[in-house]
Amino acid sequence: MNPVIRPMRPEDVPAAERVSDEGFFELDSRTRRTDGPAPTRRSERHREVWIERTRHFVEHDPAGCWVAEDDSGIVGIATSFRRETLWCLATYAVLPGRQGQGIGKPLMAAAMAHGRACTRAMLSSSSDGRAVRIYHQAGFDLHPQMFLSGTVDRTAIPVVDKVRDGSAGDIDLLDSLDRVARGAGHGVDHDLMLRTWRLLVSDTSTGSGYAYLDERGRLGLLAASNRRTATRLLWAVLAETPGEAAIPHVTAANQWVLDVGFAARLTLHQEGYLGLRGMKPPAPYVHNGALL
């Protein structure tokens, strides 16, 4: 039986999470760097965060979230959302063993229909050969992403001032910074991030910006009005990160991240692409893989 493409319902989300975990675990095993860590299955905490985030997308953008289903259950998923004039693809996966059989493309088409009134679009692509082919066909420019990881040299961390914990009272400022960086506020996604992550804000007469630390205490998202403020926030994040640090999703437009990462003695590698339509790579900005 050919899978049926239908809207994702809240009760589908745990099964959708399994498809995503299977898809990305197999991809990580297939594309593993020889010097990289061994792929692992998701932790219980990571799974909970994924489920909460996807329920949020289904609640706010029911027309952006789709599943492919056959007799065996859910075999593919695509979740997406609209914020102001921007459409973002959050997750996209087909079960290993079912890939390359024409299931993914109609899922992507259904999700993209949700964004047809948007002038801009963003997605964070894996290095998967099928994914990049589909994104290029859909009109996305592909910008290589860099990642920094390792143990922070704590003697390199400068004294960081003018950074404070943020709260819901900062959301208007955060949305304004988002609009300058990517043309659209994160809107309701800030409510989600504030619920699950920690917010740091820098707001001075010379510049403003914010950064979220994710559930593992690592950088989840960063936006600022200038590089100086962005740099200050990134150091604040590294100072707060317990254990191994990771700075994800750095585009070539954000060389200031490399200045900080190398000063902290992190190592650099390249993985995947920021896919963009109708916009240039945001800077100074470090995007989130799902909330962009």
Ligand X SMILES: CC(C)(COP(=O)(O)OP(=O)(O)OC[C@H]1O[C@@H](n2cnc3c(N)ncnc32)[C@H](O)[C@@H]1OP(=O)(O)O)[C@@H](O)C(=O)NCCC(=O)NCCS
Which tokens in the block code for residue 204? 């001075």
- Interacting span for ligand X (CB under 6 A) from 53-61, 126-134, 175-183, 201-209: 126-134
- The residue from 12, 61, 69, 128 that contacts ligand X (CB under 6 A) is 128
Q: Does 103 bind ligand X (CB under 6 A)?
A: yes
The 14-53 contact track toward ligand X, x by CB under 6 A, reads ---------xx--x--------------------------
Which residues in 185-200 are b (16+ Cβ under 10 Å) and which e?
A: bbbbbbebbbebbbbb
Give dist(CA 149, CA 269) in Å, integer: 8
Strand 207-213's sheet: what is its strand order? 164-165, 198-204, 207-213, 219-224, 285-286
Of residues 81-100, those binding ligand X (CB under 6 A): 92-94, 99-100
Is-contact 3 76, C-beta < 8 A?
A: yes
Rg for the chain, CA atoms, rounded = 19
Closer to ligand X by CB, 25 or 198: give it. 25
- The residue from 46, 105, 179, 227 that contacts ligand X (CB under 6 A) is 105
Q: Does 130 bind ligand X (CB under 6 A)?
A: yes
Is-contact 254 182, C-beta < 8 A?
A: no
Q: Does 288 bind ligand X (CB under 6 A)?
A: no
Closer to ligand X by CB, 21 or 84: give it. 21
Q: Does 69 bind ligand X (CB under 6 A)?
A: no
Which tokens in the block code for residue 176? 């304004």
Q: Does 133 bind ligand X (CB under 6 A)?
A: yes
Element (H, E) at 20: helix 13-30
Contacting residues toward ligand X, per CB under 6 A: 23-24, 27, 92-94, 99-105, 125-126, 128-131, 133-134
